[in-house]
């Protein structure tokens, strides 16, 4: 082995090692960085238009867009999440206090008439539910405290990821062209191939974001119909809340329908509550699986079935960010296969 071959092999080993180190460093921020890259691609045309109005000041235009994202997306989602968590906590506290003071029988007496009779019959069959409820609440106390602590940790992690995403979004909006130039230099690809992959990333990112917003609008419209039929108070407000929660795959639009159904149940409208719960799960919840793949496949070179399984597989593997990762991974894979076949496979004469 010559000295040049040994140096090349050692350099390759160092390159692999450094790639692994960079991967470990970037992994905790991977979701935030990927979301920032997707948003920067989608918002780049708006940033360019604003920069022209602001006298070519790209930094100012990027700052305006980041503030807009915070005010129009981040703040409403955090506010609505806080409201839902508070209402759920108050509901759990009400149940706990009622069981401790009046027993499970007192809790049953607060149910609507159709469910109240069923509850009393169940109580007669199961025996002393009051003692069981007291014991169960005492046993679950430490678990509840642990769950609250876990929720606080998760909230802190979410806020950190949002902060990193916004910082990365600002940087990419201001320096996006420089990043592309740097990629042209460092990647062992032809500039045309790098640009082709970037175009594929842009196309899929735009398709996913647009499809997510439109799907949320479709789910909110379907939920609004359910709210009107069930005579939910303030149906337009609940439709807006449904739209924002539809943007969060981990929670989803159906959760808002179920929450509204609980309100109907608590106010004595048991049958309408059952209808709205079924409507929310079957119609509002499942329409997402139809509308999103249909909207995405119109902008990318993938069939509807491929998009559907890419979305489901992405969510299963990566969580909420899988909505982006799944279609992107499949689209980049297909683009690489297309480039390899076109540029490197021998052509039949």
Query: Please, where are the H alpha helices in 127-190?
Result: 129-186
Every domain of the chain and the residues it spans: 29-186, 188-343
- Reduced to 3 states, what is the DSSP secondary structure of residue 48? helix
User: How many helices (H) and strands (E) in the chain?
Assistant: 13, 0
The answer to whether residues 205 and 328 touch, using CB atoms and an 8 Å cutoff, is yes
Two tokens at 62?
Answer: 């990027």
pLDDT at 119: 64
pLDDT at 156: 63
Each residue's pLDDT, cut to its tens digit, for the chain (349 residues) gives: 677 778 888 888 888 999 899 888 888 888 888 888 888 888 888 888 998 888 888 888 999 999 998 888 778 777 766 766 666 666 666 666 665 666 666 656 656 566 666 666 666 665 554 455 555 554 554 554 455 445 545 556 777 888 898 999 999 988 888 888 888 888 888 888 888 888 888 888 888 888 888 999 999 999 999 999 999 888 898 898 899 888 876 667 888 898 888 888 777 777 888 899 999 998 998 888 888 888 887 667 777 778 888 888 888 888 778 888 888 888 888 888 888 888 887 766 4
pLDDT at 225: 94
The answer to whether residues 51 and 57 touch, using CB atoms and an 8 Å cutoff, is yes
The answer to whether residues 226 and 280 touch, using CB atoms and an 8 Å cutoff, is yes
The answer to whether residues 219 and 192 touch, using CB atoms and an 8 Å cutoff, is no
Structure pTM? Answer: 0.71
């Amino acid at each position: 082995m010559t000295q040049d071959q040994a140096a090349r092999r050692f350099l390759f080993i160092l390159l692999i090692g450094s790639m692994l180190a960079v991967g470990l460093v970037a992994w905790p921020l991977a979701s935030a960085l990927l979301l920032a890259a997707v948003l920067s691609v989608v918002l780049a045309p708006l940033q360019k238009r604003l920069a022209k109005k602001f006298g070519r000041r790209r930094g100012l235009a990027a700052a305006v867009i980041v503030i807009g994202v915070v005010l129009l997306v981040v703040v409403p989602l955090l506010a609505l999440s806080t409201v839902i968590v508070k209402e759920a906590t108050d509901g759990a506290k009400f149940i706990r206090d009622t069981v401790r003071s009046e027993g499970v029988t007192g809790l049953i007496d607060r149910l609507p008439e159709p469910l109240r009779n069923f509850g009393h019959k169940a109580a007669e069959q199961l025996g002393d539910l009051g003692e069981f409820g007291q014991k169960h609440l005492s046993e679950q106390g430490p678990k509840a405290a642990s769950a609250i602590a876990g929720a606080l940790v998760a909230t802190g992690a979410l806020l950190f990821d949002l902060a990193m995403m916004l910082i990365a979004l600002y940087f990419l909006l201001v320096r996006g062209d420089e990043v592309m130039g740097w990629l042209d230099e460092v990647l062992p690809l032809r500039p045309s191939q790098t640009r082709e992959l970037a175009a594929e990333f842009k196309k899929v990112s735009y398709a996913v974001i647009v499809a997510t917003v439109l799907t949320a609008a479709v789910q909110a419209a379907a939920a609004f119909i359910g709210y009107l039929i069930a005579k939910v108070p303030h149906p337009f407000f609940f439709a807006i809340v449904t739209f924002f929660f539809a943007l969060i795959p981990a929670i989803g639009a159906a959760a808002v329908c179920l929450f509204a159904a609980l309100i109907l149940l608590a106010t004595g409208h048991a049958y309408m509550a059952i209808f709205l719960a079924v409507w929310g799960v079957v119609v509002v919840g499942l329409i997402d699986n139809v509308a999103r793949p249909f909207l995405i496949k119109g902008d990318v070179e993938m069939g509807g079935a491929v998009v559907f399984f890419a979305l489901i597989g992405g969510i299963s593997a990566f969580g909420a960010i899988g909505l982006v990762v799944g279609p992107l991974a499949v689209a980049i894979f297909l683009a690489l296969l297309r480039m390899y076949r076109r540029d490197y496979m021998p052509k039949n004469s």
